[in-house]
Amino acid sequence: MIRVITTLIIASACLWLALPAAAQFEIDPDHFDAPVTTVVQPRPKQSRGSMRISLPHQQVQRHRPQALNLSPSLLFSKIMVQRKDLCKDNPSGLGAGGPRSNPGAPAKIFALPCKMEPESRNVMTKPYAVAALASTLVVAAILNAAAADPAPQTGIKNVVLVHGAFADGSGWEAVANILKKDGYTVSVVQHPETSFAEDVKFTKAVIDRQSGPVVLVGHSYGGAVITEAGNDPKVSALVYIAAFAPDAGESSATIEQSLPPAGKGIKETGDGYFFIDPAAFAADFAADIPAAKAEFMAESQVLFSVDSFTSPIKSPAWKSKPSWYMVATADRSINPDQERKMAKRANAKTIEVNSSHAAYISHPKETAKLIEEAATSAPANR
């Protein structure tokens, strides 16, 4: 960006200096004392750009006409040399009647005075030529700046969805359908919840299969997974849906213990896994989805390993990737105040919905809209 600004300043300075230089070469007719008529004719069988210069007929005996092969840039210089000789012999000029005394003489092109300021004897360039050169410099500078600092691309088309604890990827169906209808390529991770390392590995494997930059989305415990897996170079943005966003050294368990949620239905199996008491599942996890669906989710819930819940984050991706966050204000699985705290800490663009913990199921349109905002806003060339 600094290089772009510097280049544009230099180009503007070139234009600012060139325009006054062009203006000083303008000939003021009010300063004419007596005109010297110079006739310019094409010379037959000459290369393009050649000119014939003839002095007025009154001076034929003293100044013999001569044909000169001149490039346009040197034309005026030669005219000035002949004008100097002419004015030396006739300081007062030829007079206005000079060219009229020979009706057969070619048409007058322009006239110059015998009395001119010293600086006017320099080779003159037409103002539009100088301005054209300055404009070329400006355009070239802009193109060079654009090539040096290409604008970041936006419009990410790959979305990877990561489910949370006690659930599987099927809960993303409504969100995935909206995204696909809007032209996105959607992949759903089916991680096993057997260990944090395994869940991150499964997620990275799906990211690796994407054809380009990725928006990585996590719900609930899936937020912890994307916080670690999101360090993958293909990930351009992170979206948290009522999710954990731990800092280095934190785990989902330590965050939940620091500010406990309202729900109390989580139980241990005795062999290293957790589950939600089916009787409390709807109230604690999915209070705003159809009762029949919530009941089936309780019956088909996935056991959640203690290792997944308690393993700390090593390198939080939200510290280096832009983030978006949806707070579920009626969440009983993660305290809504804890969600706001994590969103603020991650400097995430945050929205709030009046929803249970299962916000991605009960509010699929709002969820998809937030994901699409991330996809269209985050730089794709990270």
User: What pLDDT, on a 0 to 100 scale, did the predictor assign at position 155?
Assistant: 83
Asked whether 158 and 184 are in contact (CB, 8 A), the reply is yes
What is the DSSP pairing of strand 185-189 with strand 158-162?
parallel
User: What pLDDT, on a 0 to 100 scale, did the predictor assign at position 40?
Assistant: 43
The Cα 35–Cα 58 span in angstroms is: 13
* 142 and 195 belong to one structural domain: no
User: What pLDDT, on a 0 to 100 scale, did the predictor assign at position 253?
Assistant: 98
Is 43 within the bounds of a domain? no
* 325 and 200 belong to one structural domain: yes
Neighbours of 296 (CB within 10 A): 11
| pLDDT above 70 for 314 | yes
User: What number is the average pLDDT over the span 7-31?
Assistant: 46
Is 171 within the bounds of a domain? yes
* 121 and 174 belong to one structural domain: no
- Domain end marker among 90, 117, 147: 147
> Please, what is the Cα angle at 7 between 6 and 12, to 5 degrees?
100
* 141 and 216 belong to one structural domain: no
User: What number is the average pLDDT over the span 36-65?
Assistant: 42
Is 46 within the bounds of a domain? no
User: What pLDDT, on a 0 to 100 scale, did the predictor assign at position 9?
Assistant: 53
* 204 and 78 belong to one structural domain: no
Query: For the domain that residue 264 is a member of, what is the CATH number?
Result: 3.40.50.1820
Model pTM score: 0.63
* 203 and 288 belong to one structural domain: yes
Is 59 within the bounds of a domain? no
pLDDT band at 380 (very low <50, low <70, confident <90, very high): confident
Mean pLDDT, rounded, of the chain: 76
User: What number is the average pLDDT over the span 132-161?
Assistant: 59
User: What number is the average pLDDT over the span 342-364?
Assistant: 98
| In the chain, % of residues over pLDDT 70 | 59
* 126 and 191 belong to one structural domain: no
- Domain end marker among 147, 167, 185: 147
Token pair of 252 as six digits: 């989902």
User: What pLDDT, on a 0 to 100 scale, did the predictor assign at position 187?
Assistant: 98
Nearest alpha-carbon partner for 161 in 229, 87, 74: 229
Is 138 within the bounds of a domain? yes
Q: Which residues contact 145 (CB under 8 A, 6 or more apart)?
A: 3, 4, 7, 8
* 88 and 174 belong to one structural domain: no
Residue 229, CA atoms < 13 Å, CB-side half-sphere: 31
Is 343 within the bounds of a domain? yes
- Domain end marker among 98, 115, 147: 147
pLDDT band at 55 (very low <50, low <70, confident <90, very high): very low
Is 50 within the bounds of a domain? no
| pLDDT above 90 for 233 | yes
* 139 and 169 belong to one structural domain: no
| pLDDT above 60 for 129 | no
* 127 and 209 belong to one structural domain: no
User: What number is the average pLDDT over the span 203-219?
Assistant: 98
The number of domains in the chain is: 2
Q: Torsion angle, CA of 347/353/358/363, rounded to 10 degrees? A: -110
**One-letter-per-residue 3-state SS of the chain:** CHHHHHHHHHHHHHHHHHHHHHHCCCCCHHHCCCEEEEEEECCCCCCCCCCEEECCHHHCCCCCCECCCCCHHHHHHHHHHHHHHHHHHCCCCCCCCCHHHCCCCCCCCEEEECCCCHHHHCCCCCHHHHHHHHHHHHHHHHHHHHHHCCCCCCCCCEEEEECCCCCCHHHHHHHHHHHHHCCCEEEEECCCCCCHHHHHHHHHHHHHCCCCCEEEEEECCHHHHHHHHCCCCCEEEEEEECCCCCCECCCHHHHHHHCCCCCCCEEECCCCEEEECHHHHHHHHCCCCCHHHHHHHHHCCCCEEHHHHHCCECCCHHHCCCEEEEEECCCCCCCHHHHHHHHHHCCCEEEEECCCCCHHHHCHHHHHHHHHHHHHHCCCCC
User: What number is the average pLDDT over the span 224-243?
Assistant: 98
User: What pLDDT, on a 0 to 100 scale, did the predictor assign at position 247?
Assistant: 98
User: What number is the average pLDDT over the span 58-73?
Assistant: 43
* 110 and 213 belong to one structural domain: no
Asked whether 141 and 10 are in contact (CB, 8 A), the reply is yes
**Which pairs with CB-CB distance under 8 Å and at least 24 residues apart come from 50-58?**
51/75, 53/78, 53/79, 53/82, 54/106, 55/82, 55/86, 56/94, 56/98, 56/99, 56/105, 57/101, 57/102, 57/105, 58/94, 58/98, 58/101
Asked whether 234 and 207 are in contact (CB, 8 A), the reply is yes
Neighbours of 376 (CB within 10 A): 13
Q: Which domain holds residue 196?
A: 158-377
Is 79 within the bounds of a domain? yes
What is the DSSP pairing of strand 52-54 with strand 158-162?
unpaired
* 246 and 280 belong to one structural domain: yes
Asked whether 276 and 270 are in contact (CB, 8 A), the reply is no
Nearest alpha-carbon partner for 245 in 328, 303, 317: 317
| pLDDT above 50 for 108 | no
